[in-house]
Every structure is written in structure tokens, then in C-alpha cells.
Structure 1
Amino acid sequence: MTGPAVVLVGPPGSGKTTVGALLAERLGLGLRDTDADVAAVAGKPIPEIFLEDGEPHFRVLEAEAVRRAVAEHDGVLALGGGAVLTPATRALLTGLPVVFLDVALAEAVRRVGLDVPRPLLTINPRQRWRALMDERRPWYTEVARAVVQTAERTPDEVATAVLDALEHHPA
């Protein structure tokens, strides 16, 4: 086992799960989403974890989910938007084929919508998203082997750009 074939990082609304599913299909591999792993382990949706247990508890669960996924999964791996905040997670990603899906604020808001439960975006979603990106962009960039802009691209076009980026930036 050499680890995941592709690891996708980026903010909420960047298309990690959607593009991840397309990549998995194209590569004939499985897709694993660490947010889904966290919800399964906790036995409740992520917004409930934030509300009932707090963000610090969620981050502990998330770091463990990433650790397990990197060790066990050889397909496409989509990380939660804040996974890169944890130094141990960033260290785990060193040397892996990580791609940062970069998305503009307006497009992220359109994709995420305001009716989808995103625990960190509940109050003033546009301002909060911008603040999250200001905080996280250096971490996304640090762990990424390649950055793919998603603006004005369909999920299929983004998946193609991810594969092209990894081909041009091999380990």
C-alpha cells in the first residue's frame, strides 16, 4: 500500500466530493471522504458534532479519520475543508499526490448554497468563508503538489485538470 492515488483539499464548495467521485470513476478506484468517516464514527452528522461536542472534538475525530484513510485507502481521498489546520495532518500529506481545488468566493457560495448545513458557515456565510480561506490558503498551498482553479469549469473539466496537474507534477 502506497497511500491514496489522489488527495483533494480545499474549502467548502470547491467540489472535493463531486470531483473526487469523477476521479475515482475514471481511475477505477474507490472514493473515501473523511467527513463521511467522521460522521460514521461519531454516529451523527458533522453539524451535530460541532453543536454538541464542539469544534476541538471534531478536529480530533477528523485528524484520526485522515490518519486512518491515508494508511488504509489507495483510491481517491477527499479531505474535509479544515483538515489542513492540524499540523499532524499536514505532515501526513507530505509526499502524497495532493491537489488543492481553489474556488472563488462567489462560486463557492453558489455551490454551497445557504440551505446546506455547514457548521462554520452558519452566520454571515460570505464573510466567514472569506475568513476561512484567508486562514487556510497557506496550508492548502503548503500541502498541495498542484493547485487547480475550479472557476468556470464543470466538475468533469476540473477532474481532467487534476489528472493533468498530477501528470505534470509527479512525486
Structure 2
Amino acid sequence: MAPKAVLIGPPGSGKSTVGTALAERLDAVLRDTDADVEAAAGKPISEIFIDDGEEHFRALERDAVAAALAEHDGVLALGGGAILAAETQELLAGHTVVYLQVGLAEAVKRVGLNSARPLLVLNPRSQLRKLLEERLPIYERLAVITVATDQRTPDEVVEEIVKELS
């Protein structure tokens, strides 16, 4: 069993939105590892960061990704930083990893500057730029399919992914 597609990308790339539309298009179920982490912890990710710290969150995230890759055969959306763990990178080998590429300006528009995302709290634009720079080489290396999302509707992005999957 393996997911039909594993969506990766930074905050604001459209993993949840595109994932929902792609799952519907493929007549599959969307599973989001951020939701799995929240269910396991019994609280939102922002509270996990505050109460337990990023290290604890990342451990929960690694477990959630490993379980989802082993159990889920639909569309899987990973949290933006899930790809930082070496274990996760190894587990993604052989899967259909779809990198949803987004530029900084577009990501800022989508995420907003009043974000409740824990890693973007202090200076969202600066933090997002830093995250993009740090993670870009990993996203690109892991991707089997790369789809640009700037100035495109979710349906246009889904259409390209479906073409690439066939």
C-alpha cells in the first residue's frame, strides 16, 4: 500500500487546498499529517509548540508521516517542515512525491501576515523567506513531480498533477 501522491511544500503552497481537490479528482481520501499530529497530541500544533516545544512536535510529526506512508493509499499532505527529518526523507524514497512550488510573495499572500503558524510568529515575511531558502533544496531533491502554484487555481494545479501521474 502506498499513497497515490504525497504533497510537499512550504506554508502557503496549497497542500491542503490542492490535496482536497486532488483526492476528490482521484476518488481517494486526503490524509493530512498535521491533522494526525493534532489528533495524537489532543491539541493544535501551535499549542504543541508552546507547551512541548518544536522538538516534541517534530517527533510526533515523524511518527505521523511514517504511519501515513505505511497505511494510506489516497492523497497524503505533509506539514511543510516534515521533510527536514532524515528518516522522513528516506521513507519518501520510492513514493510519488509532488512538490507544490510557491514564490515568497504568493506564499505571504496566502499565509497572511497575522499567521497562527508557530514558525511564522515574529516576522512572518522574513521567517517564510528563511524557511523557503532552507527547505528548497530538500523539496527539489525529494520531488518526483514539481508543480508551480503561483497565480494558478487549485483546479489548474490538480489538472497538471493528474497529467503527470498518468
Aligning the two structures, in what range does the TM-score lie when normalised by the shorter sequence?
A: over 0.9
Residue deviations 1:24-70 (CA, integer Å, cap 9, x gap): 00000000000000000000000000111111110000000000000
Partner residue in 1 for 2:82: 83
The alpha-carbon deviation at position 142 of structure 1 amounts to 1.3
Aligned length: 166
Q: Find out whether 1:43 has 2:42 as its counterpart.
A: yes
- The one-letter amino acid of 1:143's match is L
Q: Find out whether 1:21 has 2:17 as its counterpart.
A: no
Distance in 2 between residues matched to 1:8 and 1:49, nearest whole Å: 23
Q: TM-score, normalised by structure 2?
A: 0.98
Distance in 2 between residues matched to 1:49 and 1:20, nearest whole Å: 24
Distance in 2 between residues matched to 1:5 and 1:44, nearest whole Å: 28
Superposed counterparts of 1:107-126, under 5 Å = 107-126=106-125
Tell me, yes or no, if the aligned pair for 2:31 and 2:76 is still in contact at 8 Å. Answer: yes
The alpha-carbon deviation at position 163 of structure 1 amounts to 1.6
- The one-letter amino acid of 1:32's match is R
Distance in 1 between residues matched to 2:24 and 2:88, nearest whole Å: 26
The two structures, once aligned, show a CA RMSD in angstroms of 0.8
Q: Secondary structure at the match of 2:76?
A: strand
Partner residue in 2 for 1:9: 8
Distance in 2 between residues matched to 1:21 and 1:125, nearest whole Å: 25
Tell me, yes or no, if the aligned pair for 1:145 and 1:166 is still in contact at 8 Å. Answer: no
Q: Secondary structure at the match of 1:32?
A: strand
Q: Percent identity?
A: 61
Q: Which structure 1 segments of 5+ residues have no match? A: none
Q: Which structure 2 segments of 5+ residues have no match? A: none
Tell me, yes or no, if the aligned pair for 2:113 and 2:125 is still in contact at 8 Å. Answer: no
Q: Secondary structure at the match of 2:134?
A: helix
Distance in 1 between residues matched to 2:155 and 2:115, nearest whole Å: 23
